[in-house]
Amino acid sequence: DYRRLQMATPEPAKPEAEPKEEVAKEEKDAELPKATVKRLLKSKLITADDKKQQMQIKEDALVALTESARVFINYITSTATDYTKEGKRQTMSAEDVFKALDDMDFGDFVEPLREFLKEHKQAAAEKSAKKKAAGASTAKKRKAGDDAAATDTAAADDKQAAGGQAPMEVEAAA
């Protein structure tokens, strides 16, 4: 497990391998957004009794927790990648992540994560269905508008064919 942790933690880039600007950009891209991490921390640190107090988080604590989260994500990813390769697949699945968590002695997280994933999929399906229904409704409105425009165009064509005058309606003789 320690080997995986070492593999998951990126090695410092060699100066001659890449320009410093590219290395700095890659490191910045791999960082978690501090504002998001801070919001997560505050939401977990403030209990119902503490809502009156504003909990502060020092910058060094935020940096330490952000880096810890990044390393943890890399560790899970490395372990899950092993399961993906073991299954001779190129796409990591949630099951690979669950197996990795179990392997890393975080099995207690698996069931809550499965439940979260189930709820997430349901919410995504509902959102997709609403979007599809809204799209169908818009298409009907567009079609109705196209039909009205076609009727107007046909009337204009009839008028033009009659020499610029509106066509006369003829009643059938009884």
**pLDDT at residue 45, rounded to an integer:** 77
Residue range 54-88, pLDDT digits in tens:
777 889 999 999 999 999 999 999 999 999 999 99
Global confidence as pTM: 0.57
At residue 47, the pLDDT reads 64
**What's the pLDDT at 57?**
82
Q: Ranked by mean pLDDT, which of 64-68, 131-135, 169-173 comes out on top?
A: 64-68
Burial letters 121-143, b for 16+ CB under 10 A, else e? eeeeeeeeeeeeeeeeeeeeeee
Dihedral sign computed on CA atoms, order 14, 18, 19, 24: negative
